[in-house]
Amino acid sequence: MGRMKSNQACFKELTQRLEEDMISQLPDPLICQILSHLPIEDSVKTSVLSTRWTSLCLWLPSLELDCRKSQFKDSTSFVSFGDRFCDSTRVSCIHKLKLSIDNDASYLTTWIDTAVKRKIQHLHVMYYGSTYFYEIPISLYSCDTLVSLKLRRVAWVSAEFVSLPSLKNLYLGGNMFPNEATFEKLVSCCPILERLHISVNDDDTKVYRVHSPSLKMLTFMRASSFDDDCVPEVFIDAPLLCGLTIFENVSKFIIVNNMESLVKLSICLVSSRSHVSGLLSKISRVRDMSICSHIFKGIHHSSKLEPLPQYGYLSRLSVFLHAPDLNLLVTFLESCPNLKSLVLSQVGWDRELRDEEMNRIGSSFVPKCLLSSLEYVDFKHLIRGHVAEMKLVRLYGVLMDDAVFGVLPCLKTMHLEENCYTSEATFEKLVSSCCPVLENLKIAASDIDGIVYRVRSPSLKRLSIERKYIVLERYCVPGVLIDAPLLCCLTIDDHDSYSFIVKNLQSNAELNISYLDFGLGKLGVESRLSNIRDFLLGISRVGNMKICLVPFKVICGYSEQEPLPQFDYISRLCISLDALDFKWLELFLRTCPNLKSLVLMVHDTYDFWEIYQSSFQYVPKCLVSSLEFVDFKFSIRGHDDQMKIVRFLYSNRVSRIDKLTLMIDNENDPSSLISWVDASVKRKIQHLHVRTSLSNILKMPPSLYVCETLVSLKLYWLKLASAEFVSLPCLRTMHLHCNKYPNEATFEKLISSSLVLEELEISMVYNDAKMYRVQSLSLRRLCLQQYSLRFDHVVEVVIDAPLLCSLRIKDSIKKISIVNNLGSNAKLDIDLNFGLRDFVEASVSSTRSCFRSFLPRISKVMDMTISVDTFGFIHQYSQLEPELEPLPQFGYMSRLCVTLHVHAGHYRTLYSEEINQISFPSVVPECLLSSLEFVDFKFSIKGCTEEMKLTMHLHYNIYPNEASFERLVSSCPVLEELEISILYDDAKMYRVHSLSLRRFRLLRSSFWFDSVVEVVIDAPLLCSLRIKDTVSKIFIVNNLGSNAKLDIDLNFGLKDFCEESVSSRRSCIRSFLPRISKVMDMTISKESFKLIHQYSKLEPLPQFGYMSRLCVSLDESSLEWLARFLQSCPNLKSLILLVDVCYYYLELHSKEIDQSSFPYVPECLLSSLEFVDFQLSRRGHAEQMKLVRYILDNSAILKKLTLRLDNRSSKDEISKEVFEIPKSSTKCEVVII
């Protein structure tokens, strides 16, 4: 009988849906957006619903087609659908197109050409054919809108012109290039490329060069080659690169430049020793590094010839090891003093170790990181007790003494995954004895491990135990014993332990039991009664518990044999159960007298007969006295049997409900919702959230209108009853989304009767044509949304909220919008079109009165955001009769955000008509001359005249000519800060003329051309100038004041600094140096300092009489030049020296260095120098100490000398040597760091 009623209800619902097809009334763009989230086969099926749905699937913004799947009956239908979708006559844009092809791909060319024409943004072409490569069309080389491109097994053709200005992500899997230049041009012609993935074919032996000033993430993979005699190369030059992954087994030469920004490195390659050595010195600043076994062997060879570099920034290290390389691990970790996380992975113990090799594994010292910084260790291999392997474990869990466990004083996190232990004592010592501050422990037992895990730790806070079924015979009795008094989080997923004992678990602990059956299998609960009893008593003090399906069934079975313990401390309980377990819920809740929050997760089952038979005889104490939150995590289908448990929990009790969330899907008995809400109101609900489905809108009871305790109300897809009286005195937050109201008065009364309402969100259904009045004396935030074009009559919105400080309106329906009493401190975000569908003059003129009424009412706002359509309508309104009806003055506005669509037809017309007028000073807005301080453009500059008039971001942009850039900067009368990054192939002259500019930064780096390039700067108020330029041969700075701060990295286009080269630029340098001689603070790069020194041999340097602070980067060969430069700084007070020492230079020039001396004492050392900061290196120590002695001997008024040591220098030795040096200044303080 129950099933028959259910079928009748389904038939009634289906009939109602057919009579009222609400989805079909949605606008086409919204339907297409919904269909794009469905599989293509489901989207195509909708075409048979009606004539209106026939072609909607062809207008989807995104499409994924895979000819290998059974989406179409044959290849003909597949191609036919693709041809119809990729119709070049349509004007709609294609957002994403993903194609997977394994047969003839001749039709792809037409599809891709159409996609490019229709402004494709994301294109993925995966070709799985094995006979040939698909040749991509030439149109793809110049797609302005492409953001993401992913190609597999395609062939590129040689192209003279490539332009992909918007491309950020590029994936090239097994692509074929006609030559090396084609690939190089492809990458270099993507000015904002950020991610690049390259996977090379086995028969591809080309040299790959990656030049990109914007690239951030790079992955390069080449596993093998058919040609053993080839010598391919990889060259990478990406100054912004922060993530690099290399898997290379072919190339003999891998060259990576500009790795200063690199943060994460993963490298696996077979290389000779010299190349590994060169790479190690370049990656010394990485923070996250993964190394393969081959690289580790290369490191081993390099360490025999020279010391390893220090990896002071490295915090995470992942290493793949062979057994013979274990001994090197200690040495390598000595170079990682600040390591925090270590992951060790097994490559394979390919042979037994000889005795002498095993003996060498034992080290006499412990790396510094183990004693001071290491917090996390993860073993990714099986530890089976082999001597070598166990010594590897002792390296991290033990001081390196034979079979004696020691202490790791800093280890806080340890993961032990699928390890095997020789005995239970081995595990217990590893966890308990040697980790005194261990806080996080994860144990994932292997399927052959049957020991008892004893976890005893006074510091452990979080523990996770995973144990799957043991595959060996049952000769063991696995178990777990936990004794951790500070444990606050315990997660259990144990499929095999017979016993599970927890001691000293505190009341603030959180327990998550995903699986635990005490090894019952087919046995009854009575065979494990004592084990279950011990476990339940051990966890009875927890405060937060989550129990999944199987553990709850075990507990229910135990309750039939013995009474459950009391869980007096538990306040939050989450239970997973099915229909068969509902009868036990009442019994378990009786053991939780102080429960506050209950979450029920019901498995999807239709067998509710057990609920029907069960009855709830007792009311648990928590329901009467403490329960505040109930959350049902299941779909309510309206069965009376299923609702029995809900009615039991929400029956007429005296306890208070703080929050109730109901998400009701499919069909439902309306009486259930009404009874629940009535009971919640009676029990003083504070937060009520109710959501129903679009297909079944339920009715809310009138009792909701008189809830005196309600603070937050959120209603979705509900019918509200007519209200004669409304009283919601505590309501502060109200969200009303797509609800139906009987009349306009009910909505108005609902808002106005909420006396303390502060936040209101309204989303109206697409066919709602009511007038909405929002009147509130307390409202502060309002968001209103409505979108539809299904009717043409006048619809109105009236807002009157004097305290409103944030108003967001997105409405394409309302023809009249009235906002009263909007204050000057309000923030406004508007997306309105006043019921209009186009921007033609006749349409805007028909709603002139609406604009005239709306705009003055919002003229007092301080912060306004305007959408692209709204801005277009306001512009058209301003052009109707600008003299009779001008735009109102927005005198209070201090921030404006406007969205513009430059490429739209009406805007293009606007600019072409008025662009010349905008150039005249007579039409410059007053705010540009008097108040505008900050401009932010959220689009790129491509040299278009319209955009050049409006743009201020100048990073890697292209300008039509030099005059455009000069005019752009000089036409900004209040410009204070300017940054310029110039593309590598841009050889223009850049002139910066500005009377207001204060901060300027220039970045230009390339050697791709030899023409004369010039930069001219004329900014009299400039106080900060930063230049990094390796291209410009002429650099002129005019009117640089004495209070300016200068940071220069220049080489005037020179590739080397021999006397002949510098002499060719003598006039350029002679012109530049006097113009910067008045600066007060200067920072000079190593290359610039070498250049200035070589120039000083040809001509005398100018005097830097105003300079009080100097920071110089130099190497050991430049130390002897320092005195000559300081002679030009007579009033210097602060000197910072950054020394980069070259090991090979010291070897070659040791005698020369010993003989070098400082022939004279600069004036600043005798009269003005007060502070010196010197970065010392262990290499070149003698020459650096000679300079330190020189400074201390001759600095008469020196106040402080700071010496910064590297990780290899001994502080005690340096201190002893420095303090033995006689000091000219008696007040000098020496600080050694």
Residues 1123 and 1030 in one domain: no
Domain boundary among 119, 136, 155: 155
* Confidence band for 948, pLDDT divided at 50, 70 and 90: very low
As a whole number of angstroms, the distance between CA 1135 and CA 111 comes to 65
Closest CA to 166 of 144, 186, 151: 144
What was the pLDDT predicted at 5?
52
What was the pLDDT predicted at 874?
84
Q: Under 8 Å CB-to-CB from 803, ≥6 apart: which residues? A: 777, 778, 779, 780, 823
Residues 978 and 1099 in one domain: yes
* Confidence band for 905, pLDDT divided at 50, 70 and 90: very low
Q: How many angstroms separate the Cα of 772 from the Cα of each of 542, 702, 731, 744, 751?
A: 51, 21, 20, 7, 10
Burial (Cβ within 10 Å: 0-12, 13-18, ≥19) of residue 166: middle
Mean pLDDT of 917-922: 42
Output the six-digit token pair for 1042: 């004495």
Give the number of other Cβ atoms within 10 Å of residue 828's Cβ: 20
- Check whether 399 has a pLDDT greater than 60: no
Helices (H), 1114-1221: 1122-1126, 1143-1148, 1150-1155, 1163-1167, 1181-1194, 1211-1219
Identify the weakest region by mean pLDDT among 212-221, 561-570, 797-806, 884-893: 884-893
Q: How many angstroms separate the Cα of 995 from the Cα of each of 479, 601, 964, 1020, 1038?
A: 79, 68, 18, 6, 12
Per-residue pLDDT of 306-363, as tens digits, reads 777 888 888 899 888 776 666 677 778 888 888 888 887 765 544 444 444 444 554 4
Q: What single string gives the DSSP state of each residue in 912-966?
A: HHHHHHHTSGGG--HHHHHT-------S---S-HHHHTT---EES---SSHHHHH
As a whole number of angstroms, the distance between CA 823 and CA 826 comes to 6
Give, as one character, the DSSP assignment of residue 24. G
Containing structural domain, residue 984: 972-1107
The answer as to whether 237 is a domain residue is no
Dmax (CA) of the chain:
111
3-state SS class at 602: strand
The answer as to whether 103 is a domain residue is yes
What was the pLDDT predicted at 164?
93
Residues 1048 and 1135 in one domain: no
As a whole number of angstroms, the distance between CA 601 and CA 63 comes to 36
The answer as to whether 150 is a domain residue is yes
Distance, C-alpha 219 to centroid of its chain: 18
Closest CA to 1113 of 1186, 1190, 1028: 1028
What was the pLDDT predicted at 326?
67
What was the pLDDT predicted at 610?
43
What's this model's pTM, rounded to 2 decimal places? Answer: 0.42
Per-residue pLDDT of 620-645, as tens digits, reads 778 777 887 877 765 444 444 445 55
Per-residue pLDDT of 716-770, as tens digits, reads 888 888 888 888 999 999 999 888 888 888 888 899 889 999 999 998 776 676 7
- Tally the domains of the chain: 4
Domain boundary among 1107, 1136, 1168: 1107
Residues 1139 and 1088 in one domain: no
As a whole number of angstroms, the distance between CA 536 and CA 1121 comes to 79
- Check whether 1013 has a pLDDT greater than 70: yes
What was the pLDDT predicted at 566?
92
Per-residue pLDDT of 503-551, as tens digits, reads 988 888 999 999 898 888 777 788 889 999 999 999 999 999 999 988 9
Instruction: Tell me which of 274 and 89 has the higher pLDDT.
Output: 89
Mean pLDDT of 997-1022: 78
What was the pLDDT predicted at 352?
44
The answer as to whether 434 is a domain residue is no
Per-residue pLDDT of 1045-1078, as tens digits, reads 999 988 887 877 888 888 888 888 888 898 898 8
- Check whether 560 has a pLDDT greater than 80: yes
Closest CA to 292 of 267, 256, 324, 255: 267
Q: What percent of the chain has pLDDT over 70?
A: 73
Residues 1090 and 1124 in one domain: no
The answer as to whether 1212 is a domain residue is yes
Residues 1119 and 1086 in one domain: no
Instruction: Tell me which of 219 and 927 has the higher pLDDT.
Output: 219
Per-residue pLDDT of 185-225, as tens digits, reads 999 999 999 999 999 887 787 888 999 989 999 999 887 65
* Confidence band for 150, pLDDT divided at 50, 70 and 90: very high
Closest CA to 1052 of 1074, 1084, 1030: 1030
Per-residue pLDDT of 1024-1035, as tens digits, reads 999 988 778 888
The answer as to whether 431 is a domain residue is no
- Check whether 968 has a pLDDT greater than 90: no
Query: Is the distance from CB of 649 to CB of 620 less than 8 angstroms?
Result: no
* Confidence band for 464, pLDDT divided at 50, 70 and 90: very high
- Check whether 1149 has a pLDDT greater than 90: no
Domain boundary among 1084, 1107, 1130: 1107
Residues 998 and 1073 in one domain: yes
* Confidence band for 88, pLDDT divided at 50, 70 and 90: low
Q: Under 8 Å CB-to-CB from 806, ≥6 apart: which residues? A: 780, 781, 782, 826, 827
Residues 1174 and 1090 in one domain: no
The answer as to whether 654 is a domain residue is no
* Confidence band for 136, pLDDT divided at 50, 70 and 90: confident
Closest CA to 672 of 693, 654, 645: 645
Residues 1030 and 1123 in one domain: no
Residues 1127 and 1051 in one domain: no
Mean pLDDT of 390-413: 50
Per-residue pLDDT of 1163-1175, as tens digits, reads 888 889 999 988 7
- Check whether 712 has a pLDDT greater than 90: yes
What was the pLDDT predicted at 1006?
63
The per-residue pLDDT of the chain, averaged, comes to 76
Termini Cα distance of the chain: 86
What was the pLDDT predicted at 733?
94
Residues 978 and 1100 in one domain: yes
- Check whether 397 has a pLDDT greater than 80: no
Instruction: Tell me which of 7 and 815 has the higher pLDDT.
Output: 815
Residues 1126 and 1093 in one domain: no
- Check whether 793 has a pLDDT greater than 90: no
What was the pLDDT predicted at 667?
52
What was the pLDDT predicted at 935?
73
Sheet holding 479-483, edge to edge: 452-456, 479-483, 499-503
The answer as to whether 307 is a domain residue is no
Identify the weakest region by mean pLDDT among 113-122, 133-142, 382-391: 382-391
Per-residue pLDDT of 1107-1139, as tens digits, reads 999 999 887 666 677 888 888 999 999 999 887
| Ranges assigned E (strand) in 200-300 | 208-211, 217-222, 233-237, 243-248, 253-257, 264-269, 288-291
Query: Is the distance from CB of 170 to CB of 195 less than 8 angstroms?
Result: yes
- Check whether 118 has a pLDDT greater than 50: yes
